[in-house]
Chains A and B, each alone.
Chain A
Amino acid sequence: MDSRRSPARLALIAPPALYLFVFLAIPMGLMGLLSFRPALRGGIANFDWTPTLEHYRATFAEGGYTRLLWLSVGVALVVALITTALAYPVAYFLAFRAGRRAPLLLTLLIIPFWTSYLLRLIAWKIILGTNGAINSFFLWTGVIEEPVGLLLYSRTAVVVTLVYVWLPFVALPIYASLLRIDRSVLEAASDLGARPWQRLLRVTLPLSAPGVFAAYLMVFIPTVGEYVSPLLVGGSKGSLYGNIIEIFFGDGINWPRGSAMAMIMLAGVMALVLLIARLVNVRRIVEEP
């Protein structure tokens, strides 16, 4: 590691740092500022206003959006849980049973993730709709008499589509952490008498926990702000916290209020991320003698 204050170091770090400052830090700062502003009169660059906590209060108040926030968090928790649970056996299969074909099979799994997100949502819209694949198939085969309307436009539909969207991606970190387990440790467990299930519970799972945890967070955090899938398949009952923010910045113009809601979500995310960052670093320090 080079510690000298060489011009190279500055030249390398300045452009990206500057870019992130302008297009990441400042926007967040502006948004924060806006969240304390009573109303957007006179344009953004106008500083003739007194800060207020009104928007925050309104969000947390009775009839506010606290319930929706917790709902969105709940949906995100559930989506992350289902996705991780479904992905673990796949990752296990790839790490321990797939042998030489593993990279290929992994790639096959990942490919859907690299297709357009919007596209995959549309696919589910087609499948779940009243005129859609599932209904028309069962109508055609005579299983049902009338199309089932509730498949689409519900919170369940949102959960299902989100699980579908995230599933290919989630297997990756779990797979990586399973690969890192020293095989001889697993052999030792068997040698000492652990049956396959016991070995899974006592050795494999604990040792792959970091990967599972990472996977869970990678789904959970972005999903809290999810609003597109509710728009496409959620209907009126499937709206989430993100939808309200979108409305405040769209048709129901109220940027300050929307900013406040976004700031609340950001604060929660940052708290979680910093907590994780702290935990992980401390652990690494302990592990290195």
Chain B
Amino acid sequence: MRAPPAVELINVEKRFGDTVAVHPTDLVIEQGEFFSLLGPSGCGKTTTLRMIAGFEQPTTGRILMTGQDVTGLPTHRRESNMVFQNYALFPHLSVFENVAFGLRVRRFDKKIIEGRVEATLAAVRLLGLAKRKPSQLSGGQQQRVALARALTLNPSVLLLDEPLGALDQKLRKEMQLELKRLQREVGITFIYVTHDQEEALTMSDRIAVMNGGRMLQVDDGATLYDRPSTRFVADFIGTSNFLTGRVTESAGDTTVIEVPFVGAVTATGLGPVAVGGDVTLMIRPERLRFGAPAPGDNSARGRVEDVVFVGNDILYLVAVDQTITLTVRGRNLGAEARTGISRGEDHQVSWPSDATTVVGA
């Protein structure tokens, strides 16, 4: 008997007056997953999270947690706990009391509270700071207190609302790996909201990409990256090259698209595509390389407009035509590798057919 999903959204919609914050959505999040809601500001990801937490009520639809309908249930009766963006620590309580809050509210025994709080504080490495007040802690420490506070209650679902937003780059990256490790150790379902695609890719098992109140695609990171379903998803996760053309052939695994100024472009691994229709193609910059195509590969010719050095990579902007510019990403493998391609030169650019993917509108 399969375990019920940790969280299930059934036709959930949220309106604020006339504005639709979240369009009718179905979603299934499995137990033990690290699941992220990813999207730009205002896309509805936080609203969705808050509906799961119980701070907002869906206008229509139902929310299930571990198989139980929690739609009308107030926040304090739900089995989920939240780590807030600004930590929301109780300013008048010490670190210990902050973490113990949920246990005290449930009238746990004093000894048990002590034991559990200390265990959680040890897990987030804050034991020595138990007596301090939140105002005496750094941002990173406050964040860990917020985490400890939510984890102490052993929730079935942990909700995280952009918890790393206020930290500096280096600390962020450290915390990302920490959280991932913690999640694996503890085994709790994490639902994580972020606008940073790299962060989502680093930590998540699956990601829901949202925009304008809709979930555009829900998949694991690799699938989202290689086979984005829409232009928006393609562009949001990593950089993209887009080409438009008409499908001339589609047989089995192979599709051929006629792209103006480029010629026939082959794409594999797509499945059947309607012939005669216009489509948008997407190729990731790192799949393009300079030089003649290998058998089965696609190619295009263009003039190198710009060479941009970004540290570990070099970006080449190649103008195939007035309207088509391809970005080629090459590794920076030393000074010698950098010569050979310079501005103003004409070069041929090639890519394998399985690197071509079709995206929706």
The chain A residues found within 8 Å of chain B, CB to CB, are 182, 184-185, 187-196, 198-199, 202-203, 206-207, 287, 289
Task: Give, as a whole number of angstroms, the nearest-CB distance from B146 to chain A.
Answer: 8
Q: Across the A-B interface, give the 8 residue pairs with the lowest CB-CB distance, nearest first.
A: A192-B102, A184-B88, A188-B88, A190-B75, A194-B105, A185-B88, A190-B76, A191-B82
Judge whether B143 is part of the interface by a CB distance below 8 angstroms: no
- B76 x A191 contact (CB < 8 A): yes
- A184 x B86 contact (CB < 8 A): yes
In chain A, what residue has the closest Cβ to B106?
Answer: A193
- B136 x A289 contact (CB < 8 A): yes
Judge whether B63 is part of the interface by a CB distance below 8 angstroms: no
Task: Give, as a whole number of angstroms, the nearest-CB distance from A239 to chain B.
Answer: 42
- B53 x A182 contact (CB < 8 A): no
Range class of the B interface residue count: 20 to 34
Task: Give, as a whole number of angstroms, the nearest-CB distance from B56 to chain A.
Answer: 11
Task: Give, as a whole number of angstroms, the nearest-CB distance from A198 to chain B.
Answer: 6
Q: Mark B227-252, 1 if CB is under 8 A from A, else 0.
A: 00000000000000000000000000
Judge whether B91 is part of the interface by a CB distance below 8 angstroms: yes
In chain B, what residue has the closest Cβ to A288?
Answer: B135
A-B contact pairs, 9 of them (CB 8 A): A184-B85, A185-B89, A189-B90, A191-B53, A191-B76, A195-B76, A202-B104, A207-B91, A289-B136
**A73 CA to B55 CA, complexed, in Å:** 46
- B81 x A192 contact (CB < 8 A): yes
**A184 CA to B149 CA, complexed, in Å:** 14
Judge whether B225 is part of the interface by a CB distance below 8 angstroms: no
In chain B, what residue has the closest Cβ to A182?
Answer: B88
**A289 CA to B139 CA, complexed, in Å:** 13
Interface of A is mostly: helix
B88 partner residues in chain A, CB cutoff 8 A:
182, 184-185, 187-188
Task: Give, as a whole number of angstroms, the nearest-CB distance from B353 to chain A.
Answer: 50
The residues in B between 59 and 99 inclusive whose CB is less than 8 angstroms from any CB of A are: 74-77, 80-82, 84-86, 88-92
In chain B, what residue has the closest Cβ to A206?
Answer: B92
**A287 CA to B55 CA, complexed, in Å:** 30
Task: Decide: A184 near B84, CB < 8 A? Known: A202-B105, A206-B92, A287-B135.
Answer: yes
Task: Give, as a whole number of angstroms, the nearest-CB distance from B67 to chain A.
Answer: 21
A190 partner residues in chain B, CB cutoff 8 A:
54-55, 74-76
- A-B contact sample (4 more), CB < 8 A, given A188-B90, A191-B82, A194-B101: A185-B88, A192-B81, A193-B153, A198-B105
B149 partner residues in chain A, CB cutoff 8 A:
188, 192
In chain B, what residue has the closest Cβ to A194?
Answer: B105
Q: Among the interface residues A182, A188, A190, A198, which one has the most CB atoms of the partner chain B within 10 A? A: A188
Task: Give, as a whole number of angstroms, the nearest-CB distance from A125 to chain B.
Answer: 45
**A206 CA to B98 CA, complexed, in Å:** 14
Task: Give, as a whole number of angstroms, the nearest-CB distance from A128 to chain B.
Answer: 43
Q: Among the interface residues A193, A202, A206, A289, which one has the most CB atoms of the partner chain B within 10 A? A: A193
B101 partner residues in chain A, CB cutoff 8 A:
189, 192, 194, 202
Contact of A191 among B75, B92, B136 (CB under 8 A): B75
The residues in B between 86 and 130 inclusive whose CB is less than 8 angstroms from any CB of A are: 86, 88-92, 101-102, 104-106
- A207 x B92 contact (CB < 8 A): yes
Task: Give, as a whole number of angstroms, the nearest-CB distance from B135 to chain A.
Answer: 6
- A188 x B84 contact (CB < 8 A): yes
**A198 CA to B102 CA, complexed, in Å:** 11
- B92 x A187 contact (CB < 8 A): no
B75 partner residues in chain A, CB cutoff 8 A:
187, 190-191
**A207 CA to B134 CA, complexed, in Å:** 14
In chain B, what residue has the closest Cβ to A209?
Answer: B92
In chain A, what residue has the closest Cβ to B100?
Answer: A192
**A289 CA to B82 CA, complexed, in Å:** 27
**A195 CA to B76 CA, complexed, in Å:** 6
- A185 x B74 contact (CB < 8 A): no
**A287 CA to B74 CA, complexed, in Å:** 34
**A187 CA to B149 CA, complexed, in Å:** 13
Task: Give, as a whole number of angstroms, the nearest-CB distance from B326 to chain A.
Answer: 46
A195 partner residues in chain B, CB cutoff 8 A:
76, 105
Contact of B82 among A188, A207, A287 (CB under 8 A): A188
**A187 CA to B55 CA, complexed, in Å:** 8
**A181 CA to B178 CA, complexed, in Å:** 31
In chain B, what residue has the closest Cβ to A185?
Answer: B88
In chain B, what residue has the closest Cβ to A199?
Answer: B76
A199 partner residues in chain B, CB cutoff 8 A:
76
A203 partner residues in chain B, CB cutoff 8 A:
90
Task: Give, as a whole number of angstroms, the nearest-CB distance from A182 to chain B.
Answer: 7
In chain A, what residue has the closest Cβ to B152?
Answer: A192
**A268 CA to B75 CA, complexed, in Å:** 48
**A192 CA to B92 CA, complexed, in Å:** 16
**A276 CA to B91 CA, complexed, in Å:** 21
B85 partner residues in chain A, CB cutoff 8 A:
184
**A203 CA to B92 CA, complexed, in Å:** 8
A207 partner residues in chain B, CB cutoff 8 A:
91-92
Contact of B105 among A184, A187, A192, A206 (CB under 8 A): A192
**A191 CA to B74 CA, complexed, in Å:** 9
Q: Among the interface residues B80, B88, B104, B135, which one has the most CB atoms of the partner chain A within 10 A? A: B88
**A182 CA to B84 CA, complexed, in Å:** 12
- B55 x A289 contact (CB < 8 A): no
Contact of A193 among B90, B91, B105, B136 (CB under 8 A): B105
